[in-house]
């Protein structure tokens, strides 16, 4: 096996010389040095003389699959993914990205490496306790399919694309009239009525022959595959288990308690403050300056007599506290991020801060109440302190054992016995783990991805995969069962039910269209409903974002033109469950610009500006594609 040859060759003199060379290159040039040695590759597309390689296309397609898998979780079914269609859409996206980057080059858009480093190290996902952690950085990049070099390059391109988008957005002009017109549309309220033609009501009398079942099965065989799955044996390293083995003296617990008390006194930790806030998030559509200006206006309104709680409910984008008047409850020092905490501890009760910027957005903070925290009792803290000391002592042991575990997994690639002997762990088994799901600990997506790597499927150990901060697993596959066709006889009933449901849905759609024709011809709405033994669902003054009615019904209703005179405004729409609906609107009230708050008007203007910039970007892309040599 190629991988085994690599493992065996890793100890050779030639390999050691190569490692030394790589180490020199990294030291001299950094991770980007790998980009100095291009490798020949098949070309998927050429854009104005610039190649998009097959490897780049495959890597990006794989990344998209990983994103889908992460977003859908156990609902992700690779059998339903049209790989070729995904690959084509990915290629189109890479072509568009290349065209925009070429335009950015023409405009001399650039970012300094120091600024790029600052942005990356400030990303919260790469931080532990607020500090950039290189180990976490490398681990997350590996899981996402990036190397440090490729990630830096990707981020550099993203920054330049954002600069380009910002340039387009800065040219977007939104007039007051456009905001007024948009407010009338977006603030509309409509009287909506609909009849639901449930597919289940049309199943009677539908028959499906065996030939039809067989034909559907053959044409959709990808729907009737077993899930690829594996049986595994694995060893698990646990920080909790190591912590349980640590002995803690009484004097150590007392010393830890006294240290916490000292720090608490020095930091003012004996005091707790009850805060409320209003949060406005920042984005491409709303800058920090715009959010600050909006909050200053809101503070003026509150100082003029408006209620802070009412404003928080209306405006705050912190969903957790917004519905509760912005109330964050009592908290001591160390609970909030530094800038927020500093602002809060400078306030008197009832006072409102200047706008405060954090990584979450811009806040307006008020102090509601101050109280002294209850004195802590040593006995109440004993168990927590004991566990903390144990874990602190076990943590370096865990990290060292993790290193040993990973090393042995590589050096003894086809057995777990070496790890068991070195670390005193036990071999456990797991059966039927799929790419999408598995029992503990294989509920972890990263671990599942590791055991489905090609070399692990061939029987080699996985690397040590860290799950959170306190567990690590090495696994090896003992049985691999690829996806296979399920025999027709096992799924006949399911196929038949699918075909019956499909035809029932078609019949429901036909009935809805027939009812629409009668309604538009002038038949009474009650007669149309009575013919199908249905009852109209009516909703008055419904807004576009109201959720009392099905989304597809609401969307169909807001696509209809307002009724004129005696004419009816109606349509049909499919529902998500195979059913159909007949939708009617009888009254339309336009939105009222005058009833909007200033914050809502600013938000709307920002949304329109973003929409205008997106349209400008689409227009630019269209021109670039027309003129490009593809």
Extract the tokens encoding 411. 């050096």
Same domain for 575 and 623? no
pLDDT at 74: 59
pLDDT higher at 6 or 365 = 365
pLDDT at 151: 81
Same domain for 492 and 585? yes
DSSP secondary structure code for residue 487 in this structure? P
pLDDT at 204: 92
Extract the tokens encoding 180. 């007024």
Instruction: Answer whether residue 219 is part of any domain.
Output: yes
- List CB contacts of 356: < 8 A, sequence separation 6 or more: 339, 340, 343, 362, 363, 364, 365
Same domain for 585 and 602? no
pLDDT higher at 437 or 516 = 516
CA 179 – CA 110 distance, rounded (Å):
34
CA 128 – CA 135 distance, rounded (Å):
10
pLDDT at 33: 30
pLDDT at 343: 92
CA 607 – CA 609 distance, rounded (Å):
5
- Of 307, 337, 372, the last residue of a domain is 372
Residue range 237-295, pLDDT digits in tens: 999 999 999 999 999 999 988 887 777 666 655 678 899 999 998 876 688 888 898 99
Same domain for 545 and 607? no
Same domain for 547 and 521? yes
Same domain for 464 and 514? no
Instruction: Answer whether residue 348 is part of any domain.
Output: yes
pLDDT higher at 115 or 559 = 559
| pLDDT, the chain, mean | 84
Average the pLDDT over each of 45-49, 124-128, 476-480 and give the range with the smallest value: 124-128
DSSP secondary structure code for residue 337 in this structure? -
Q: pLDDT band for position 170 (50/70/90)?
A: low
Looking at the chain, the whole-number percentage of residues with pLDDT higher than 70 is 87
SS3 227: coil
Average pLDDT over residues 487-510: 94
CA 18 – CA 519 distance, rounded (Å):
80
Residue range 363-387, pLDDT digits in tens: 999 999 998 767 778 888 899 899 9
Average the pLDDT over each of 28-42, 209-223, 493-507 and give the range with the smallest value: 28-42
pLDDT higher at 588 or 152 = 588
Q: How many domains does the chain have?
A: 5
Extract the tokens encoding 370. 């101050």
Instruction: Answer whether residue 527 is part of any domain.
Output: yes
Same domain for 503 and 570? yes
Instruction: Answer whether residue 433 is part of any domain.
Output: yes
pLDDT at 609: 79
Nearest to 217 by CA among 484, 482, 498: 498
Extract the tokens encoding 461. 């150990």
pLDDT at 30: 33
Same domain for 429 and 519? no
Instruction: Confirm if 91 and 45 have CB atoms less than 8 A apart.
Output: yes
Residue range 173-187, pLDDT digits in tens: 788 888 888 888 778
Same domain for 599 and 561? no
pLDDT at 71: 66
Residue range 41-88, pLDDT digits in tens: 578 889 899 998 887 888 788 778 777 776 666 566 665 677 778 888
Polymer length in residues for the chain:
630
Domain enclosing residue 604, as ranges: 176-184+595-627
pLDDT at 15: 36
Same domain for 468 and 518? no
Average the pLDDT over each of 446-460, 532-546, 554-568, 598-612 and give the range with the smallest value: 598-612
Average pLDDT over residues 157-168: 80
Instruction: Answer whether residue 537 is part of any domain.
Output: yes
Instruction: Answer whether residue 194 is part of any domain.
Output: yes
pLDDT at 581: 96
Instruction: Answer whether residue 42 is part of any domain.
Output: no
pLDDT at 371: 87
Same domain for 361 and 448? no
Same domain for 578 and 512? yes
Residue range 215-244, pLDDT digits in tens: 999 999 888 988 899 999 999 999 999 999
pLDDT higher at 281 or 32 = 281
- Of 438, 457, 481, the last residue of a domain is 481
pLDDT at 19: 36
Residue range 307-354, pLDDT digits in tens: 999 999 888 988 778 888 999 988 877 778 888 989 998 999 999 999
Instruction: Answer whether residue 539 is part of any domain.
Output: yes
pTM for the predicted model, two decimal places:
0.51
Nearest to 425 by CA among 408, 439, 449: 408
Q: pLDDT band for position 610 (50/70/90)?
A: confident
pLDDT at 80: 63
Please give the angle made by the CA atoms of 301, 303 and 307, to the nearest 5 degrees. 70
pLDDT at 582: 97
- List CB contacts of 34: < 8 A, sequence separation 6 or more: 25, 147, 149
Please give the angle made by the CA atoms of 500, 505 and 508, to the nearest 5 degrees. 125
């Amino acid at each position: 096996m190629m991988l085994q040859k690599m493992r065996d060759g890793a100890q050779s003199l030639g390999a050691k010389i190569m490692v030394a060379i790589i180490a020199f290159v990294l030291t001299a040039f950094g991770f980007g040095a790998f980009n100095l040695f291009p490798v020949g590759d098949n070309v998927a597309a050429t854009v104005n003389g610039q190649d998009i390689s097959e490897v780049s296309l495959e890597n990006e397609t794989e990344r998209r699959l990983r994103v889908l898998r992460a977003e859908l979780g156990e609902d992700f079914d690779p059998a339903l993914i049209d790989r070729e269609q995904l690959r084509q859409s990915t290629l189109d996206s890479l072509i568009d990205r290349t065209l925009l980057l070429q335009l950015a080059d023409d405009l001399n858009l650039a970012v300094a490496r120091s600024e790029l480093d600052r942005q990356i190290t400030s990303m919260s996902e790469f931080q532990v306790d607020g500090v950039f952690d290189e180990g976490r950085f490398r681990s997350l990049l590996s899981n996402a399919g990036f190397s440090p070099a490729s990630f830096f390059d990707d981020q550099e391109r993203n920054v330049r694309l954002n600069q380009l988008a910002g340039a387009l957005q800065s040219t977007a002009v939104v007039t007051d009239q456009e905001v007024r017109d948009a407010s009338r549309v977006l603030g509309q309220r409509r009287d909506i009525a609909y009849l639901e033609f449930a597919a289940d009501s049309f199943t009677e009398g539908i028959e499906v022959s065996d030939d039809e079942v067989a034909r559907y099965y053959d044409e959709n065989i990808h729907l009737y595959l077993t899930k690829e799955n594996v049986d595994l044996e694995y060893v698990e390293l646990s920080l909790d288990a190591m912590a349980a083995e640590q002995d803690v003296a009484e004097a150590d617990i007392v010393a830890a308690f006294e240290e916490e008390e000292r720090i608490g006194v020095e930091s003012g930790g004996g005091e707790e403050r009850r805060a409320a806030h209003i949060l406005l998030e920042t984005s491409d559509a709303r800058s920090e300056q715009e959010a600050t200006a909006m909050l200053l206006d809101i503070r003026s309104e509150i100082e003029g007599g408006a209620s802070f709680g009412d404003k928080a409910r209306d405006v705050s984008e912190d969903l957790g506290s917004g519905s509760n008047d912005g109330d964050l409850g009592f908290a001591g020092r160390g609970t909030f991020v530094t800038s927020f905490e500093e602002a809060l501890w400078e306030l008197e009760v009832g006072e409102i801060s200047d706008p405060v910027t954090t990584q979450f957005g811009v806040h307006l903070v008020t102090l509601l109440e101050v109280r002294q925290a209850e004195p802590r009792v040593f006995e109440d803290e004993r168990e927590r302190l004991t566990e903390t000391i144990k874990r602190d002592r076990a943590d370096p042991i865990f990290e060292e054992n993790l290193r040993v575990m990973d090393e042995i997994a590589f050096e003894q690639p086809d057995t777990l016995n070496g790890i068991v002997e070195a670390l005193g762990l036990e071999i456990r088994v797991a059966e039927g783990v799929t790419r999408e799901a598995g029992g503990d600990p294989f509920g972890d997506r990263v671990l599942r991805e590791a055991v489905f790597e090609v070399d692990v499927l061939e029987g080699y150990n996985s690397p040590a995969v860290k799950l959170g901060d306190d567990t690590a697993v090495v696994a090896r596959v003992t049985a691999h069962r690829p996806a296979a066709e399920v025999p027709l006889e096992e799924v006949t009933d399911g196929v038949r039910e699918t075909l019956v449901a499909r035809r029932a849905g078609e019949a429901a759609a036909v009935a809805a269209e027939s009812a629409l024709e009668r309604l538009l011809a002038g038949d009474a709405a009650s007669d149309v409903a009575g013919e199908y033994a249905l009852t109209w669902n009516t909703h008055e003054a419904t807004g576009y974002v109201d959720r009392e009615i099905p989304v597809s019904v609401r969307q169909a209703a807001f696509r209809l033109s307002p009724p004129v005179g005696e004419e009816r405004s109606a349509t049909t729409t499919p529902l998500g469950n195979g059913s159909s609906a007949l939708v009617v609107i009888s009254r339309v009230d336009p939105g009222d610009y005058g009833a909007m708050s200033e914050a809502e008007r600013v938000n709307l203007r920002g949304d329109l500006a973003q929409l205008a910039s997106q349209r400008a970007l689409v227009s630019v892309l269209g021109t670039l594609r027309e003129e490009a040599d593809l």
